[in-house]
């Protein structure tokens, strides 16, 4: 019998069981039944070879306050080995005692733990190592910091908080200086993956791991039959463990590609086997609960080679939020290869220019949606191999799509068997110790951003995904949780600046965000970085050199909440002024990505907009040859209007979660079994079903269903934005918010948007103001029959303006505005008519 997991094939493992007792440090776990597996090679995935195999274990302990860089000295060989050693340049250790400085001016409320952490620890000067690394990586320059003062010109109100903001920027400057002095600069510091973890040279493999709490360590795995006596590691004075494995006599590496590996450590809380913290791939074997690290180093001829350049950064960002595993129409875990071949062309056809992919970093718990990360440098093996992911990204680039990764640096899985938690047997290695290091709502661990080695780890992690996989940027998850010690829990942000610049601000975390944004934009000026912040932190999307946090976009999260709030009310209770206020209530000069709904609203326990609108009628009345119910008619009309006005007024970027473009029915429910709680209660599961953990794209494609009309409208909406670029137009004017008529009229560029939210009233000869005189034509009509509408407008009609001010505009035109419709008019001249795409109809080959 053969089990297959994401491109890794396991023969039947009759003898694999978890041993009930913990192994001793020198326990030889060799068995007669070796486990072998191979990386599958076919036309849809990358290749591999056949290797040997074995099992895994765990632990717990106290905290340490030490942070350290390593002394990358000469390698020490096992006394029984006569093989030559790899030579690495000696790195000079610099012992810097930087005194922690407390805030001395008014507003410097919080002393950064970062300065204390850096000051009290010994940091390695890795300049000579950086010189050798630069022979392999073209040197790129991260610009020096600015003065951080421009934020006061942008927002004079911030001047009242200059004590806090100047202190924050001072901590950032100090950290940049420390990194320059001790690590050769941020560019070199962010390449920790070329030093730590497994690195390969012509003579062998070096493995390094920072584990200061460990008392002894050995590298174990398939390659040495899990014998902890075979490859004992040495430790330097800074807690970095190291071993060099010379090539075999035939020149082949000591660890074959695909071998399972772990580090066994004697820790303050006992013996534990851990997946290397910098592992690049990990898998879960059938019959085993914890994951195993995998040494992933395919032969050169089997490595995926990128063929297509990165697309240019789009001016208007239209993001298709996606999850590879649930992207199949079938109840299964989908693959990178299937997503590449089936979903990417769909995204391109719909008119989006960016795909944001969730759950890339390895996470042992599938139902965490990828947010409980266990292996930060490893792409999830559920969906395929690392080379499969590279092929997916390369295909997206070929299609002109930028690829954003949903990256998680706000917290980590609390798993001790296969994650970073208690990695070296202590509570505070990567995370804050005690209560501060635990997120009670997410049930996860919280990073200590004041630790030197944590900074190296996270900065290198962000760069790794840009360098190795050619992602074009990130959506940083949970940034609000990072920036405040209360994590945004049980706190209501009102916009009062005291909420942002006080004792509850985690300066270490904000400084880390400034660092990572500076690093990303310095190395990749075209990269896009979006931050998930619900607090409205001022200067969040202002460049770091100007004193900001450095993100390109903030997720405009209040809009989705407002739509849910309105959908719980009757139409008569909706206030168009309230809608406009919510859509436009954002900080001037700081770009936003807006959405009507994301994956959050699609989860079990919540409802999508379509489900709020149409409820159970979606199951029986969506066939076009069947009479729709009033609920379905209302739902289809408002679904289109909500999405268009959100895109039109809500931000400079737009996001849609896959399937919601056509009103995907029901919710997302990950496979789960019954959960038995300690108090005897049982939380029922769904029998491990994948039925509601997929996307029914076939519904949107079926022309005989009303879902198809919603999908076609979304497609027309994206292509309209592509043609006119209205989201980023400098000209925006809202000329009408009529509570009696329930009408909203606004201009974006040369377009005029007219929304009639009234449930029964249609208006003939309705005068609307505009700024551009001349002829107008309809370029998008939500009431078109193609989009499931009633065809109440003549889309070939031409409209001519009249002079004279109306709604404070220099001219006006008369239109027909049917109830529950959204219509977009474009100013045209005689030469432009033929280039218009009527009603957003786009050829299928676009």
Distance CA 118, CA 456 (A): 12
DSSP 39-94: E--BTTB----EE----------------B----------TT--SPPPP-----EE
Distance CA 533, CA 276 (A): 31
Residue 454 CB-half CA count within 13 A: 31
- Determine the longest span between alpha carbons in the chain, in angstroms: 95
Strand partners, 653: 317, 593
Beta-carbon contacts of 162 under 8 Å, excluding residues fewer than 6 positions away, are: 107, 152
Distance CA 633, CA 818 (A): 14
CA distances (Å), origin 314, targets 469, 594, 598: 20, 16, 21
Of the candidates 716, 593, 711, the one whose C-alpha atom is nearest the C-alpha of residue 314 is: 593
Distance CA 474, CA 390 (A): 16
- Read off the DSSP letter of residue 220: E
In the set 532, 546, 590, 781, the catalytic residue is 532
CA distances (Å), origin 118, targets 99, 105, 166, 316: 9, 22, 20, 41
Cα 241 from chain centre: 31
The phi and psi torsions of 128 (rounded to 5 degrees) equal -65, -35
Q: Cβ distance 526 to 472 under 8 Å?
A: yes
Distance CA 147, CA 293 (A): 44
Secondary structure percentages of the chain, helix, strand, coil, to 5: 30, 20, 50
Distance CA 5, CA 745 (A): 53
Q: Given the structure tokens 């070329």, which residue do they identify?
A: 194
Based on the residue annotation, tell me whether 532 is a catalytic residue of this protein.
yes
Q: Given the structure tokens 């807006």, which residue do they identify?
A: 594
Hey, how many other C-beta atoms are within 10 angstroms of the C-beta on 619?
Answer: 10
Based on the residue annotation, tell me whether 477 is a catalytic residue of this protein.
yes
Hey, how many other C-beta atoms are within 10 angstroms of the C-beta on 724?
Answer: 18
What value does the CA radius of gyration of the chain take, rounded to a whole number of Å?
29
Distance CA 607, CA 836 (A): 37
Of the candidates 593, 461, 446, 450, the one whose C-alpha atom is nearest the C-alpha of residue 516 is: 461
834: left (phi over 0), alpha (psi -120 to 50) or beta: alpha
Query: How many residues are recorded in the chain?
Result: 846
DSSP 552-581: SEEEETHHHHHHHHHHTS-GGG--HHHHHH
Distance CA 186, CA 232 (A): 32
Residue 146 CB-half CA count within 13 A: 15
CA distances (Å), origin 752, targets 736, 744, 809, 822: 11, 10, 12, 11
In the set 418, 472, 477, 546, the catalytic residue is 477
Strand partners, 594: 556, 654
Residue 454: both structure tokens together: 């944590």
- Read off the DSSP letter of residue 331: S
CA distances (Å), origin 577, targets 173, 649, 650, 741: 44, 13, 14, 12
Q: Where are the beta strands (DSSP E) in 650-721?
A: 653-657, 675-676, 682-683
Residue 551: both structure tokens together: 């993100």
Distance CA 547, CA 147 (A): 7
Q: Given the structure tokens 């990303």, which residue do they identify?
A: 520
Give the residue numbers annotated as catalytic, written as ranges.
Answer: 477, 532
């Amino acid at each position: 019998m053969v089990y297959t997991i994401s491109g890794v094939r396991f023969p039947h493992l009759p003898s694999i069981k978890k041993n009930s007792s913990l192994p001793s440090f020198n326990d030889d776990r060799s068995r007669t039944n070796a486990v072998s597996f191979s990386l599958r090679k076919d036309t849809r995935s990358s290749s591999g070879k056949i290797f040997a195999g074995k099992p895994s274990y765990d632990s717990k302990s106290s905290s340490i306050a030490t942070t350290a860089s390593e002394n990358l000295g000469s390698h020490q060989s096992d006394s029984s080995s006569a093989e030559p050693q790899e030579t690495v340049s000696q790195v000079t250790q610099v012992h810097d005692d930087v005194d922690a400085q407390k805030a001395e001016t008014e507003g410097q409320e919080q002393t950064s733990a970062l300065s204390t952490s850096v000051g009290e620890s010994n940091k390695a000067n890795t300049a000579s190592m950086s010189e050798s690394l630069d022979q392999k990586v073209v040197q790129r320059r991260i610009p020096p910091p600015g003065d951080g003062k421009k934020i006061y010109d942008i927002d004079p109100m911030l001047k009242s908080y200059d004590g806090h903001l100047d202190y924050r920027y001072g901590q950032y400057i100090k950290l940049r200086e420390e990194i320059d002095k001790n690590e050769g600069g941020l560019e070199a510091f962010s390449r920790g993956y070329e030093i730590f973890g497994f690195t390969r040279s012509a003579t062998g493999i070096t493995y390094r791991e920072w584990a200061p709490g460990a008392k002894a360590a050995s590298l174990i795995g398939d390659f040495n039959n899990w014998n902890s006596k075979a490859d004992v590691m040495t430790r330097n004075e800074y807690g970095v463990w190291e071993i060099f494995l010379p090539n075999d006599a035939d020149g082949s590496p000591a660890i074959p590609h695909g071998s399972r590996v772990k580090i066994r450590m004697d820790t303050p809380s006992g013996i534990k086997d851990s997946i290397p913290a910098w592992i690049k791939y990990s898998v879960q074997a059938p019959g085993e609960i914890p994951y195993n690290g995998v040494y992933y180093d395919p032969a050169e001829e089997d490595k995926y080679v990128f063929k297509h350049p990165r697309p240019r950064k789009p001016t208007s960002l239209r993001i298709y939020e996606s999850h590879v595993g649930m992207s199949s129409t079938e109840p299964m875990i989908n693959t990178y290869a299937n997503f590449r071949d089936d979903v990417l062309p769909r995204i391109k056809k719909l008119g989006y220019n960016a795909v944001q992919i969730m759950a890339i970093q390895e996470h042992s718990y599938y139902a965490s949606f990828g947010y409980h990360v266990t292996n930060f440098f490893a792409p999830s093996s559920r969906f395929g191999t690392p080379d499969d992911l590279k092929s997916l990204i390369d295909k997206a680039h070929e299609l002109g799509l930028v690829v954003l990764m949903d990256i998680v640096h706000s917290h980590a899985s609390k798993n001790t068997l296969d994650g970073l938690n208690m990695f070296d047997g202590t509570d505070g290695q990567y995370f804050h110790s005690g209560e501060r290091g635990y997120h009670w709502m997410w049930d996860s661990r919280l990073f200590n951003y004041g630790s030197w080695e944590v900074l190296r780890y996270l900065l290198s992690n962000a760069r790794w995904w840009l360098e190795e996989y050619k992602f074009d940027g990130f959506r940083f998850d949970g940034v609000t949780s990072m920036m405040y010690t209360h994590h945004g829990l049980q706190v209501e942000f009102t916009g009062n600046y005291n909420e942002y610049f006080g004792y509850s601000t985690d300066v270490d975390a904000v400084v880390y965000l400034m660092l990572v944004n500076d690093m990303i934009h310095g190395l990749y000026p075209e990269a896009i970085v979006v931050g998930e912040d619900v607090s409205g932190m001022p200067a969040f999307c202002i460049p770091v050199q100007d004193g900001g946090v450095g993100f390109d976009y903030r997720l405009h999260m209040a809009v989705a909440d407002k739509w849910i709030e309105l959908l719980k009310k009757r139409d008569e209770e909706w206030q168009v002024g309230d809608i406009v206020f919510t859509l436009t209530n954002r900080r001037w000069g700081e770009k936003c990505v807006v959405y009507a709904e994301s994956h959050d609203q699609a989860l079990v326990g919540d409802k999508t907009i379509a489900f709020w609108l149409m409820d159970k009628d979606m199951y029986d009345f969506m066939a076009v040859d069947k009479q729709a119910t009033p609920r379905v008619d209302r739902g289809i009309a408002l679904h289109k209007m909500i999405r268009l006005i959100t895109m039109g007024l809500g931000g400079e970027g737009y996001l849609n979660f896959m399937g919601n473009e056509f009103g995907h029915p029901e919710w997302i429910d990950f496979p789960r079994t019954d959960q038995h709680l300690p108090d005897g209660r049982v939380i029922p599961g769904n029998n491990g079903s994948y039925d509601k953990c997929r996307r029914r794209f076939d519904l949107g494609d079926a022309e005989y269903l009303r879902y198809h009309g919603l999908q076609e409208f979304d497609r027309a909406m994206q292509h309209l934005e592509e043609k006119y670029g209205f989201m980023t137009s400098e000209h925006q004017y809202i000329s009408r918010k009529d509570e009696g008529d329930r009408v909203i009229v606004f201009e974006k560029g040369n377009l005029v948007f007219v929304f009639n939210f009234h449930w029964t009233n249609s208006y003939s000869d309705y005068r609307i103001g505009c700024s551009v005189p001349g002829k107008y034509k309809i370029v998008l009509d939500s009431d078109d029959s193609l989009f499931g509408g009633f065809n109440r407008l003549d889309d070939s009609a031409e409209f001519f303006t009249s002079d004279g001010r109306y709604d404070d505009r220099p001219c006006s035109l008369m239109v027909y505005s049917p109830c529950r419709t959204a219509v977009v008019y474009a100013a045209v001249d005689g030469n432009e008519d033929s280039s218009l795409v009527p009603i957003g109809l786009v050829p299928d080959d676009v």
